[in-house]
């Protein structure tokens, strides 16, 4: 599969991811109709691509390697964050694939609104957990315990 953002850095993927999450949140506020669902498909495709690339870049760059070298006791938290990222990608693919089902539009829209709303909330919680982990490390280093 070719890279969505050839030569991109993890921060560019993160920025694109959150822009697309914002687009989804806005679409959900207006409720989904046939046209919105058509627009939703490429947004989800781009979001999945950006998230997968971000995960790949983090793995390749060893984003957490330095952190774990200094704070090996955080391995469980790091593994949890990485597992959450993988689960977010998997569940978003599932939601995207669900768009293609042959069910009445009202039912599809309702299911997508609920599923994507839950997914966005999970994404926000995941981001907060990741930020707290990095803040904990930063405060430990500043506090002289690291």
Identify the pLDDT of residue 6: 45
Q: What is the pLDDT of residues 105-120, one digit of tens each?
A: 999 999 999 999 999 9
Identify the pLDDT of residue 71: 86
Query: Which one, of 8, 12, 6, 133, lies nearest residue 73 by Cα?
Result: 133
For residue 61, what pLDDT band results from cuts at 50, 70 and 90? low
């Amino acid at each position: 599969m070719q890279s969505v953002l050839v030569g991109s850095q993890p921060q560019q993927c993160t920025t694109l991811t959150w822009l697309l999450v914002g687009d989804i949140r806005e679409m959900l506020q207006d409720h989904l109709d046939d046209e919105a669902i058509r627009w939703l498909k490429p947004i989800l495709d781009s979001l999945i691509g950006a998230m997968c690339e971000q995960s790949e870049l983090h793995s390749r760059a060893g984003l957490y390697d330095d952190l774990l070298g200094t704070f090996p006791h955080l391995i469980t938290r790091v593994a949890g964050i990485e597992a959450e990222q993988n689960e977010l990608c998997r569940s978003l693919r599932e939601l995207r694939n669900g768009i293609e089902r042959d069910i009445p539009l009202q039912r599809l829209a309702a299911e997508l609104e609920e599923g994507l709303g839950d997914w966005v909330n999970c994404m926000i919680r995941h981001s907060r957990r990741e930020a707290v982990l990095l803040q904990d490390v930063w405060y430990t280093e500043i506090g002289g315990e690291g």
